[in-house]
Structure 1
């Protein structure tokens, strides 16, 4: 197995407009830990976290995602998803405390050009635009038999948000903005890892499936390999720009044993 050298994600502008996000997240974790819902954890080392991206691990995850059944929802996984949606709603409620106003994106394409644009515009305006699930969601659009495609009970700007919309909002804020994480593989890994600190261990496998597995498939999926079994790099024949790649299907399956441990072992937090 080959591995890339440890490296920090591509830097974006630090979230200077929202310096209280990390403190808000820490307060949330402390309160939840006092209730016995989360393990106690100091988040101060997260912004300097380094991530080792192992392409072979990414391809292993992508292959598993590609071969996984579309729906494999047993009672245990259903309970994890219920807990996941409940915790996402709690995270969403924190956005107002941070002075962030959420609005559905009504313009063409994606609301942001990348993480730097997201951080900059949120800092300047205090508005987070959410790219709605109904406007972009894998092949075939939102599937009503997926728990995250159910109504969340939250309405903003006259739009009833799905649970997946809620997750997109809190992932952007407590992943990308709070940690200044890019939207490449390393940055998405960092965003998922940092945001996991605000979730109970019960739902970490769900975060892995919904975020990490899909990112691995999007960037390292078998559909991107050439006939020789190679993944072409930018500028090489056969390389497909991200803007032309399909979104992964939102599947329902349990995170395989060992995947989550290998993922979390990829990170080294800043010593404090």
Structure 2
């Protein structure tokens, strides 16, 4: 069930202001989530997150991106996997900052919790706080992000919760995160979307 019970909620309205082509219908038409679908994604993320990734694997992945999205790769200026990763995250951070600024300007009161003591007990609690009370508490702790700086990482957490979960009513957990990505990814450019997909893979 989508947030708002079929009615347009504040998160959807703001999402459409930022990304006019934002569509809940596109989310409803997403392939059904399943362990069979998510497991390979999670495994690939774990493999590429290790400190000693086989250079041949990176080379092959970059080659596939180049074949599938030549214009995107060319526009990024990347000549290898690591450069493409950096370019994608830099673009995502820039677009995330714009989304974050729009969220602040919408009247939603944002607060950051460095300890996790004020963490929401459920996605329902978070959705009610964000959409009804116009408040959103964002976790500030955790391990440093390998690519994003602290500010960009916190901003991404905020806009992911609001525009990913807030527009769909998606729960926490693998299936809900996949649905949230289906919504939030519409607000990013193709290059930035590569990084957003990687962030989603962490939760599967």
Q: TM-score range by the shorter chain?
A: 0.7 to 0.9
Preserved contact between residue 92 and residue 192 of structure 2 (Cα < 8 Å): yes
Tell me how far apart the structure 1 counterparts of residues 11 and 3 of structure 2 sit (CA, whole Å): 15
Provide the residue aligned with 2:107 in structure 1: 99
Indicate how the Cα distance of structure 1 residues 15 and 198 shifts in structure 2: closer, same or farther if over 3 A, else same.
farther
How much has 1:92 moved relative to structure 2? Answer: 0.3
Describe the superposition over 1:55-99 as per-residue Cα deviations: whole angstroms up to 9, x where unpaired. Answer: 122121222222225367622221111111000001101112321
Match of 1:66 in 2: 46
Pick from 2, 5, 9 the counterpart of residue 19 of structure 1.
9
Corresponding residue for residue 147 of structure 2: 147
* 1:215 equivalenced with 2:203 (yes/no): yes
CA spacing shift, 1:117–1:12, aligned 2, 3 Å: farther
Asked whether 1:79 is paired with 2:87, we answer: yes
User: Deviations for 1:89-142, whole angstroms, at most 9, x for unmatched residues?
Assistant: 01101112321011112565451011100011223432111111xx22xxxx21
The aligned residue for residue 154 of structure 2 is 165
Gaps of 5+ in 1: 1-10, 31-40, 152-161, 217-272
Structure 2 CA distance for aligned equivalents of residues 108 and 130 of structure 1: 9
SS at match of 1:147: coil
8 Å CA contact retained: 1:14, 1:119: no
Q: Which blocks of at least 5 consecutive residues in structure 2 are unaligned?
A: 54-80
Tell me the TM-score normalized by structure 2. Answer: 0.74
Q: Work out whether residues 15 and 177 of structure 1, in 8 Å CA contact, stay in contact via their aligned partners in 2.
A: no
Query: Is the contact between residue 15 and residue 178 of structure 1 (CA under 8 Å) also seen in structure 2?
Result: no
Cα distance between partner residues in 2 of 1:24 and 1:108: 27
Measure how far apart 1:24 and its partner are: 2.0
Q: What is the total number of aligned residue pairs between the two structures?
A: 176
Partner of 1:196: 185
Matched residue of 1:171: which SS? helix
1:114 aligned residue = 122
CA shift for structure 1 position 165: 0.7
1:175-223 deviations in Å (ceiling 9; x for gaps): 1112111112221111011000000011222111111x2122xxxxxxx
Do the aligned partners of residues 202 and 175 (structure 1) sit closer, same or farther apart at CA in structure 2, a change above 3 Å counting? same
Indicate if the aligned counterparts of 1:15 and 1:119 stay in contact, CA closer than 8 A.
no
Which TM-score applies when normalising by structure 1?
Answer: 0.57
Q: Which residue of 1 aligns with 2:68?
A: none
SS in 1 for 2:124: helix
Give distance in 1, aligned partners of 2:16 and 2:157.
20
Per mean C-alpha deviation after superposition, the further-off stretch among 58-67 and 162-171 is: 58-67
In the alignment, the residues of structure 2 paired with residue 44 and residue 61 of structure 1 have an alpha-carbon distance, to the nearest angstrom, of 24
